[in-house]
Amino acid sequence: MMLTAPNIAFETSPAVVVRSPFDGSRVGEVVVSTQQEITRAVASAREAQQAFRRSTPFERRTLLNGLADRIAAHAEELAGIICAEVGKTIREARNEVRRAQNTLRLSGDAATFLDGEVLHCGIVSGGVDRRATVTFEPVGVVGAVTPFNYPLNLLCHKLGPAIAAGNAVVAKPSPKAPLAAARLAQLAAEAGFPEGLFQIVHGAADVALALARSPIDLLSFTGGPAAGLALKNASGLVRCLMELGGNDPLFVLPDADLEKAVATAVGHRFEIAGQSCAAVKKLYLHRDIEVEFTQRLLAAVASVRPGDPSSEATDMGPVIDAAAAHLVDARIEATLAGGARLLAGGRRHGTLVEPTVLTGLDVDAPIIAEETFGPVIAIRSFESTAAAIAEVNAGAYGLQAGIFTNDHALVKQFSRDLAVGGVMVNEGPDFRAEHVPFGGIKSSGLGREGVRIAIREMSETRVVID
């Protein structure tokens, strides 16, 4: 299936050819946007938003539900696009399409509850007999820059709350996976989105920087810390929401349900071939269960079937491109050279990296020193929960963490002491509900996504006192 995005740029602009990460076949192309077109897109978004800002919550919810309906009607087509351009298994791609619908519908629901409050000004001595009405107004034009790993749902996490709050959106998807975003824009037009309210520009880092420097009112970015900092600097005083990745741990304690913990570790680490921000990057096993857990883990890993992502039988597809595969391969080799032991996998076949398990790692092993986007489970053993928590907290990231235990005291300790944005109990760090705040601290980002909080993040507070 050959896919072509809408032609939003001049014919003289270069094209980005999108190729399958699995076999290199040509999937489609997009035309790179020029500076003039980025400027024009932001200007037309501004014009559309000026009319849309007075829309009612009912009208916004109707638009978002209409887009969700269009996604549902084209679910298998969209799943095929995601599978082809990202290399996700077709089952993973279908799940993303399902989640994108949820994100938009929850955003529409949130539009009806963007409530303010009334505060009395006479609550202190000398106060006046006046009331302050606090409301939330649209920020204006949202610039949205999205990564390759969830090309549909992460865009909906920016689009849904932005529209619910009364804003316009100019989005720039990853050049590695731009086709699902382009199709979403077509479906939005079919769903009745006013012209200019949601637009796509295409290109690499230079286009993202040009969008950040444009007269937008808020920049929402998902990607790496270096790119995030560059965009933040380029955007000046514009408000920024940034999800910048993580090096997330999963802790398994002696009283844990080992079968469920094994299934979670395997499922969360090998989904999208390990290319999720909140995937299990470091698996902390208490020494009392380390041997038994590892045996169970290896049996589960052996059953994972990598291969052609379009096949219903495939459990794990390739990483996004050859460069990503080489990086994962190099980090595995460097970690083994440092004394770690290879328990499973470890080999690369083009862009397919075998499901890999390493143990005996130092805390500064290359595979866990930096966030690694690849299907590698890296085991660290521990006895002291305080020491394990301190080790995680010493890292640069603080996105999410998972813990498996039924000990309430331990749940309280991990929840209180871990320096992360979210703690998942008897779940993996990659768990996310679309309406719940999601994001981290330190190098993991600024602000939060998740429909209920993002709609506030994408609004301005206005106070009227009379």
Cα separation of 152 and 182, whole Å?
10
Structure token digits, residue 219: 């920049």
List, in order, residues 6 or more apart from 384 with CB less than 8 Å away: none
**240 tagged catalytic:** no
CA distance 178 to 81: 10
Residue 378 CB contacts under 8 Å (≥ 6 apart), including other chains: 281, 282, 283, 335, 358, 361, 365, 367, 368
Q: Report which residue type is found at 362.
A: D
Residue partners of 260: CB distance under 8 A and separation at least 6: 404, 426
Amino acid at 270: F
Catalytic residue among 83, 156, 240, 277: 277
Residue 308, Cβ density class (10 Å: 0-12 exposed, 13-18 middle, ≥19 buried) = middle
Please confirm, yes or no, whether 83 is among the known catalytic residues: no
d(CA 375, CA 41): 38
Phi, psi of 199 (to 5 degrees): -130, 160
Q: Of 243, 371, 449, 457, which residue is the catalytic one? A: 243
Listed residue (93, 92, 84, 104) closest to 156, CA to CA:
104
Q: Based on the number of CB atoms within 10 Å of its own CB, is 417 exposed (0-12), middle (13-18) or buried (19 or more)?
A: middle
Q: Which sequence positions are flagged as catalytic?
A: 243, 277
